Amino acid sequence: MVAHAQTAPQYIAIGKIVGPHGIRGEVKVSVMTDYPERFRPGARLYLGSEEAAVPAEIAAVRPHKNMLLVLLTGVPDRNAAELLRDRFFLIPEAEAMPLGEHENYAHDLIDLAVETVEGEALGRLTEILFTGANDVYVVVGAEGELLVPALREVVLEVDLTAGRMVVALPDGLRD
């Protein structure tokens, strides 16, 4: 997922459709929320982007490897499911769960300036990869792209007001 907005979006992404599964219209969903129970039969979510979304109803859900297989009402076959590839499952921002201490919404982190504890500028956070084990921040700077694990021992400070993130890079990360 890539969030582009500097201001809070109208919707927040909670999952991404990575492709179809089988011939019945199921889609494989990479979950991007700490609350996967939002994906349940009868749930009404939205599909699209953070700027534009259309309502969608979940008909069935089942786990599959590190993803979910979701059948949507009105998606009858693989061809229809294929058209949904790379779309996001969204919830209205007003339905977002409250954040805990040291937690941020993904869209708030996009475009933060990232620097080391020594003050070295690494670049800007351009994308967040939701890998299952831990998120990974994609930082793009003068030296190219750097993949920074989103772990407490690595990300030491996030200051949304100042627009910066301070990280302690693990040994060998730049190699």
Longest dimension (CA), the chain: 55
Tell me the pTM.
0.73
Determine the average pLDDT of the residues in 127-148. 90
Q: 66 or 75, which is more confident?
A: 75
Q: Please, what are the domains in the chain?
A: 11-94 (2.40.30.60), 106-167 (2.30.30.240)
Chain CA centroid to CA 79, Å: 25
pLDDT surpasses 80 at 146: yes
| Distance (Å, whole) CA 89 – CA 147 | 25
Angle at 134 between CA 136 and CA 155, to 5 degrees: 60
